[in-house]
Structure 1
Amino acid sequence: MDKTLTTGTHAPPETPERYRDILALMEAGRIRIAEERARALLAETPDDADAMALLASVIVKSGQFEEAERLLQQTIKLTPREPAPWLNLGRLLQQTGRWGDALEHYRHAANLFPKNPLIAMTLGQLYQRASRFTDAEAEFRRAIEQKPRAPYYVQLGMVLLRQDHIDQAVEAFETAIAKNPKLAAAYGNLGNAEQKRGRMEAAAAAYEKAVALNPKDTLSYVSFGMAQLKLGAAREAAEIFERALGQHGAERRAAAWLPYARAQEFGEMPAGYRAEIAGLVSRVTLTPPDGYGDMDELNRALAAALAEDPTLTWEPPGKATRKGGQTGLLLDAPREPFIAFEKRLRHAIDAHFDGIVKKPGHPYYGQVPRTYHLDLWGTLLSEGGHQHSHIHVGGWMSGVYYIALPPSIGQGTENHDGWIEFGHPPPEFDANFEPKTVSYVPREGDAFFFPSYLFHRTLPFSGDVQRISLAFDVKPTSWR
């Protein structure tokens, strides 16, 4: 989603050169001087919406989000029938992680500007983030009606693919390619659709074309490696994953699949893989937040809130959950008790980061986040419920916190019912080697932290008491 503020409406004829000077200072990284000049400009023309938008675009660079929001709200009051101020405020809400507010803001804007394709596209992307795929599809189609651009067809194809409308998705990607044969993203997503159709050769060809058009398209490059792995070319796949990690840094899927590619090549997992997993997984016991006497009280409040959450969906499409329900992103519209939980979770995460010793070149320990967004969602598993092996492509570090556990959770070395297991490849992968896994018993009040690229799954359990947990992704916005 585009989250860059623009200067909004047309600049008055007497000020374009001063605008350009301020924008040039921003581009050069001279934010303090740009801010001084933008404030001077606004002081001369205090009712100029463009000058307000320009100052807002400068001060967000130094984290002055509250003042930027006030300025952008004022631009809307001054020019309510212009779409640019609405877009600018929406981008600020996205930039600061206020996803629920952004969604409501763009819904309002879409009603005011029903023929603006950019507003429709952004609203569709926000619906897609919230797993409201039908609503997202409707917005993408509305944008296409106004401006049938190739990137819009790519977005439409992506949301169709999330709904398993594979043939329609292929048609959308092919339409995008017909409109712009040099659009790498269209070929990369076409490869994803061909994989879902089981046409690995066609998928590999599409990924290869995407990379040829854009050598920096890491997603398609790694997907090309995954297609090679499924075609039986394990050595070639491993070399692709190694090059991706060497050239593009800690790419999640490359780090996840490299050990399996080497194991597929040699017929066994690398020596010491279990010890490596153990060194990547951390168990943390959380402490009660303010307002709660103990973790039991917090857990009861969390369980009740999850059971009543309106976004709770049974076996949501595109997710790993089976025989259970999963909520949407709970911090997009934050409320208690999740606000209190987030504060304690962030405290534990920050303490964990303080203890990390950096290892240059390592896909997880190579760098440590300074600031980050946090995605949080709930999972409620019933008898036989589980999550098949998966990774979190959008995260850097992921984790799970246990709210309530059934008494049937396994307690011995031979009984791992309901445990979390790391290291097993996903079910669609036809491994010719014996996986090496590490399992941990969950405990109420405990959390596990682990790199998002580490494959993990929950094992089925019996009994009529639900297994309730909160999962989360850490998405860095800056590094230490």
Structure 2
Amino acid sequence: MQLSEALSLAIQHQNAGRTAAAAEIYDRILEVAPENPPAATLRARIHLKEGRLDEADRLTETATRAAPDFMQAWNARGDVLDARKEPEAANAAWRRSLVTGPENTGPFVGLGNQFQLDKEYGAAEQAYRRALAGQPGNVPAANNLAQALLIEGDAERALAATDRVLARDPNHVRATAYRSVALEELGRYDEVDRLIAHGSATRPIRFPVPGGYRDHVGFNAALSEEIRNHPNISGNLDPLRRAIRGGAFVPQLFDQKGPAIAAFEQMLAAGLNDYIAGLSRDPSHPFFARIPDGYAVNIWANILGDEGHQSAHIHNAGWLSGTYYAAVPETVRPDDPERAGWLEFNRPGYGIPYRGTRKLEAICPELGMAVVFPSYVWHSTIPFRGGGERISIAFDLHIDG
């Protein structure tokens, strides 16, 4: 097979999602022609997606050296350098991409993201708009434009930016979250309340005590102890990737199940199935339109101490999200006017200030209770003081298929 035919076949595999087959062909091409720019660039893309940054860096450097005017190589190199947290070098590569291919709009998203990090929101807005001029359906550009506009306080244009995304994907989590912020700032409260759906979609779930335990106090004490001693526990958290502040994090909680965690898994599954069975389908609603027949659960635990909290965030990959409370400090009380330790809704995160005029909804945690909500709903934990631990188990439901 000629190199051009092999490259064409690999691209077909890659476009169809057959990444392993594509990678194998790219590797064979690079054995014969180590500096083949398209093969090096596209193989680097696969390495980047899989987190193998050293290999992606080596291949994009090879491609740009072999073909200094190859736009896609510079574009990929910028993405790799951005993933390596080298923003200045990434910007230089993206700009080189634009010089070699002025019609290329992809790098403008990366430039806009860097402008946002530097708090140059006007420049970020221009970069995202340039990306959208060339690619009107560019979802990251439209979403990030909405974020920049909300930070600057331009709710009308932010709303229009979310319309771009939702016209293509009416259930897009991040666009729906940004839309709720814009609607709140514009005083369109009925539309916000319909999205959040307090009392139906967003509400507490109370569980019966699992078999073998006398009461919730005993069960949750055992559950908390297993969480504290879980082998996956980590206190070294990246604030850019996790919303927790001042605490510990236990990913993949179900990797190791003691008796209490195993009982919790069964209890949670029964409660979620009952919750889903009680929902009514509504094709015009981004949450109620997607009530699943089957789902998968991603689950983790958070341990918070004094001043610990969860900053405002959403869960981009979920349909339904929630938090179960295994330990609640005595200082977290339903009669507290400051609502310390409560779960608060609708305060936006990601640098967007809250400019609404309404008092935000919040729910006081209770031992043995979970609070569930659509994954696009902004939520955060108000810091608490006075000692004790707040141990919660967070989860996302992902629709099968």
* TM-score, reference length from structure 2: 0.75
SS in 2 for 1:450: strand
Deviates more, 1:282-291 or 1:394-403: 282-291
Note the C-alpha offset of 1:417: 1.4
The answer for the alignment partner of 2:340 in structure 1 is 417
Structure 1 distance, partners of 2:313, 2:53, is: 26
Deviates more, 1:201-210 or 1:308-317: 308-317
Note the C-alpha offset of 1:281: 0.9
Deviates more, 1:138-147 or 1:221-230: 138-147
Note the C-alpha offset of 1:401: 1.3
CA contact (8 A) 1:277 1:423 kept: no
Post-superposition CA distance 1:353-384 (Å, at most 9, x none): 22211112211112212333322222111101
Note the C-alpha offset of 1:222: 2.3
The answer for the alignment partner of 2:83 in structure 1 is 159
Letter in 2 for 1:304: E
* Correspondence 1:394 to 2:313: no
The answer for the alignment partner of 1:257 in structure 2 is 178
CA contact (8 A) 1:218 1:248 kept: no
SS in 2 for 1:389: coil
Note the C-alpha offset of 1:472: 1.7
| CA spacing shift, 1:336–1:229, aligned 2, 3 Å | same
* Correspondence 1:230 to 2:146: no
Letter in 1 for 2:325: Y
Note the C-alpha offset of 1:143: 4.7
| CA spacing shift, 1:307–1:385, aligned 2, 3 Å | farther
Matches within 5 A, 1:206-221: 206-221=127-142
| CA spacing shift, 1:221–1:324, aligned 2, 3 Å | same
CA contact (8 A) 2:247 2:303 kept: yes
Letter in 1 for 2:226: A
| CA spacing shift, 1:122–1:362, aligned 2, 3 Å | same
| CA spacing shift, 1:350–1:121, aligned 2, 3 Å | farther
Structure 2 distance, partners of 1:166, 1:370, is: 43
| CA spacing shift, 1:394–1:189, aligned 2, 3 Å | farther
Unaligned runs of 5+ in 2: 2-8, 28-38, 65-72
| CA spacing shift, 1:450–1:220, aligned 2, 3 Å | same
SS in 1 for 2:60: helix
* Residue number among 302, 305, 319 corresponding to 1:379 in the alignment: 302
Structure 1 distance, partners of 2:356, 2:43, is: 49
Unaligned runs of 5+ in 1: 1-9, 11-19, 28-56, 58-71, 76-81, 88-114, 128-135
The answer for the alignment partner of 2:57 in structure 1 is 141
| CA spacing shift, 1:436–1:171, aligned 2, 3 Å | farther
The answer for the alignment partner of 1:278 in structure 2 is 198
| CA spacing shift, 1:365–1:198, aligned 2, 3 Å | same
Structure 2 distance, partners of 1:232, 1:416, is: 27
CA contact (8 A) 1:156 1:172 kept: no
| CA spacing shift, 1:443–1:147, aligned 2, 3 Å | farther
SS in 1 for 2:301: strand
* Residue number among 247, 269, 279 corresponding to 1:324 in the alignment: 247
| CA spacing shift, 1:254–1:121, aligned 2, 3 Å | closer
CA contact (8 A) 1:306 1:312 kept: no
Letter in 2 for 1:257: Y
Note the C-alpha offset of 1:122: 5.3
CA contact (8 A) 1:292 1:298 kept: no
| CA spacing shift, 1:471–1:180, aligned 2, 3 Å | farther
Structure of greater relative contact order (alpha carbons < 8 Å, 6+ residues apart): 2
The answer for the alignment partner of 1:188 in structure 2 is 109
Matches within 5 A, 1:240-389: 240-265=161-186, 268=187, 270=189, 276-279=196-199, 280-286=201-207, 296-297=218-219, 300-310=222-232, 312-318=234-240, 319-330=242-253, 334-337=255-258, 341-389=264-312
Aligned-pair Cα RMSD in Å: 3.9
Note the C-alpha offset of 1:173: 4.0
Note the C-alpha offset of 1:406: 1.4
Aligned residues: 361
Instruction: Percent identity, please.
Output: 25
Matches within 5 A, 1:98-117: none
Letter in 2 for 1:153: R
SS in 2 for 1:462: coil
Structure 2 distance, partners of 1:241, 1:397, is: 21
Deviates more, 1:351-360 or 1:213-222: 213-222
* Residue number among 386, 395, 408 corresponding to 2:331 in the alignment: 408
The answer for the alignment partner of 1:91 in structure 2 is none
CA contact (8 A) 2:184 2:192 kept: no
Letter in 2 for 1:353: I
SS in 1 for 2:400: strand
Structure 1 distance, partners of 2:48, 2:224, is: 30
Note the C-alpha offset of 1:213: 3.1
Note the C-alpha offset of 1:246: 3.7
Structure 1 distance, partners of 2:81, 2:111, is: 9
| CA spacing shift, 1:436–1:365, aligned 2, 3 Å | farther
The answer for the alignment partner of 1:197 in structure 2 is 118
Letter in 2 for 1:167: E
The answer for the alignment partner of 1:470 in structure 2 is 393
Structure 1 distance, partners of 2:111, 2:295, is: 31
SS in 1 for 2:312: strand
Note the C-alpha offset of 1:317: 2.6
Structure 1 distance, partners of 2:80, 2:233, is: 23
Structure 2 distance, partners of 1:330, 1:176, is: 43
Structure 1 distance, partners of 2:262, 2:63, is: 40
The answer for the alignment partner of 2:31 in structure 1 is none
* Residue number among 455, 459, 469 corresponding to 2:378 in the alignment: 455
Note the C-alpha offset of 1:346: 3.4
Post-superposition CA distance 1:214-244 (Å, at most 9, x none): 3332232122223233344322222332343
* Correspondence 1:426 to 2:349: yes
Post-superposition CA distance 1:100-139 (Å, at most 9, x none): xxxxxxxxxxxxxxx9988876565455xxxxxxxx5445
SS in 1 for 2:274: helix
